[in-house]
Amino acid sequence: MRLLFVDNSGESEIYSPLEHWKPLFPEDFHCVDATRGGLSGLDPRDYSHVILSGSESCTLDEEAWMLEEEGFVRAVVAEKIPLLGSCFGHQLIAKTLFGRDAVRVRPKGEVGWKEIRVGADDPLWGRKGETQWAFLFHYDEVAFVPPDGGQVLASSDECGIQGFKVRDLPVWGAQPHFEIGVTQGIQLLRGAHCSPDEVQGGVPPRDTGFVVTMMRRFLESRPGA
């Protein structure tokens, strides 16, 4: 098992995805900075699993490094290697596989700890009807998943597609930052000059710790599963 972690955060001063994800990784993992050409020349067949991180960037900007990452995603999918996209990564997978119109800018951001509802049984997300609480911080979203190309798996009150899976492939998107706990989320909000109390509107932050189960299930997935 060798995991590839694709860091899309660039030079962000408030968001360091590897810091949050690393404790969950197997001993053998490789991290690359996609914003600085880190994917150039990589062969996805050298890895057993791939994770795409979040970013403060918008996938619709189509910067050169994003287009390079889209090409890498196509190569990963072609090899049927297990792939998980988080937040920006979730949107980039949808845009790459379902087209540019699959992603849109939200009227307003979805920020804070929200209830995520699982709408269908899935090896990664769990059983239909289960709920998880997780941290969200996004101003773009996946707008649609074509029924012949994928399946919507999770939603929240403010966002209809919090998670999806590509049909017949071990490829998933997850909008929530399951990897960011309450303490980390509060620090991130303050770094972004957001008041946690105002964001939550009096509702205490809550995280059900689903990231541990999600990562175990993801690492247990196999090519083509």
Active site annotation includes 179: yes
Check 49, 69, 87, 141 and give the catalytic one.
Answer: 87
Check 69, 110, 141, 179 and give the catalytic one.
Answer: 179
Active site annotation includes 177: yes
Please give the Cα distance from 83 to 10 (Å, whole number): 21
Contacts of residue 147, defined as CB under 8 A and 6 or more positions apart, other chains included, come to none
Three-class HEC string of the chain: CCEEEEECCCCCCCCCHHHHHHHHCCCCEEEEEHHHCCCCCCCHHHCCEEEECCCCCCHHHCCHHHHHHHHHHHHHHHCCCCEEEECHHHHHHHHHHHCHHHEEEEEEEEEEEEEEEECCCECCCECCCCEEEEEEEEEEEECCCCCCCEEEEEECCCCCCCEEEECCCCEEEECCECCCCHHHHHHHHHHCCCCHHHHHCCCCCCCCCHHHHHHHHHHHCCCCC
**Would you please indicate which residues are annotated as catalytic (active-site) residues?**
87, 177, 179
